[in-house]
Amino acid sequence: MEILRSFNLSWKNVSLILFLMSMLLAFSVGSYLNSFKQRYYSLYLQLKEMNFLINNVYTKTLSKDEQSVRSFIESFEYKVEYISQKEGSIEIHLSFVDPVSMARLSHILESNGFEIAFFKATDNTGNGNFFIEVVVR
């Protein structure tokens, strides 16, 4: 009561101020919830798209001969030095391969049913460009 008398405010003015402040609070909470809902829906759509892509992935398996391995590796734009098939295994030599592509290559070969019997990566340049020798079965 003392505060109201010092500012000469009536109950009508105080109730009006409280009503306006509560409306401002309601509007700000509503706008925050709306932006939260939009972000949530965006992430939900990304998850649904990723789930769709995972469920509808097309897997291509390689036949274990020299020509199919050569065409498959050349499709990834690796610089092929040498590929030959000897005694039930395929020997692959690649040059100028970065470490990320090297890991991707080993993953691709193993996911297509090949067993990596020998893997040697040499970087003579010091720039991360590897010369790779791989023997797969």
Residues 74 and 19 in one domain: no
The answer to whether the predicted template modeling score (pTM) of the entire model surpasses 0.85 is no
Task: State residue 100's pLDDT score.
Answer: 87
73 against 121, higher pLDDT:
121
Residues 79 and 41 in one domain: no
Give the residue numbers spanning the domain of 98. Answer: 66-136
Residues 84 and 106 in one domain: yes
Mean pLDDT, residues 85-106 taken together: 88
Taking the C-alpha atoms of residue 89 and residue 133, their distance in angstroms, rounded to an integer, is 13
Residues 70 and 130 in one domain: yes
What CATH number is given to the structural domain containing 89?
Answer: 3.30.70
**String of DSSP letters for 87-112:** TTEEEEEEEEE-HHHHHHHHHHHHHT
Tell me if 82 is assigned to some domain: yes
Residues 70 and 39 in one domain: no
126 against 115, higher pLDDT:
115
Q: What is the mean pLDDT of the chain?
A: 86
Which residues, other chains included, contact 14 with Cβ-Cβ below 8 Å and sequence gap of 6+? 4
Q: How many domains does the chain have?
A: 2
